Amino acid sequence: MDNKIIVKTSELVKEYKISKDKSLRVLKGINLVIYEGEIVSIIGASGAGKSTLLHLLGTLDKPSSGEVQYEGENVFKLSSDKLAKFRNSKIGFIFQFHHLLPEFTAIENVSLASMISGKSFKEVYNSAKNILTDVGLGDRLEHKPSELSGGEAQRVAIARALINSPRIIFADEPTGNLDTKNSDEVMNLIFDLRKKYNQTFVIVTHNERFSAMTDRTLKMVDGQIVNHH
């Protein structure tokens, strides 16, 4: 790891207004750095602010104050169009539920994520085929989500997150809906993808075996990071 910084936050705060004169501070000044090629897990009790932090890092939500910098650029200074373009091309997401479109096949689900970037269909289809093969689904390209197991559907979701060669992938409980065997397969796959693509991952998880395997674990308590192992 050459310690190239992908994402850096400074004094990241997120508040939600509850009433006219009352607001709830969910994130209380988060400072963190994520390096290229790292797999970092974020752990903590429900309500500690893990998903809120992930949404801010992934630019799905805006902070109340503080900065998120990608390779030195404060992304929340971008116009909303530029921010959306940045998100589509530089960031991948994996959620607990795969959110695949039920009427489309595995390869169509993965291809659709890339069609908006203006590449030709053939180019996108070939990339999607290669990535699905990389995640072990080369023989399931034409299956719809209902014909796939939970573990296979989550692999399609991982392939979809990879299709635009993002700088970083954020995963929110990617094994939360899977049994032990499928969880292990998804965990191992994430490490394989890091090896193959030098892909950077930030993963919110309750799975202690998973967090123990990652390069660093950030523990959140009450809107703050309390350790940087």
pLDDT, tens digit (0-9, with 9 covering 90-100), for 142-180: 999 889 988 888 889 999 888 888 899 999 888 887 888
**What is the number of other CB atoms lying within 10 angstroms of the CB of residue 176?**
16
Whether the model clears a pTM of 0.85, i.e. scores above it, the answer is yes
Angle value at C-alpha 102, between 98 and 104, nearest 5 degrees: 105
- Residue whose C-alpha is closest to residue 168's, from 197, 200, 198, 127: 200
pLDDT, tens digit (0-9, with 9 covering 90-100), for 12-22: 998 888 888 88
Is 86 buried (19+), middle (13-18) or exposed (0-12) by CB count in 10 A?
Answer: middle
Q: What is the pLDDT of residue 217?
A: 92
Q: Does position 2 have pLDDT exceeding 80, yes or no?
A: no
| Domain annotation for the chain: domains and CATH numbers | 40-61+89-228 (3.40.50.300)
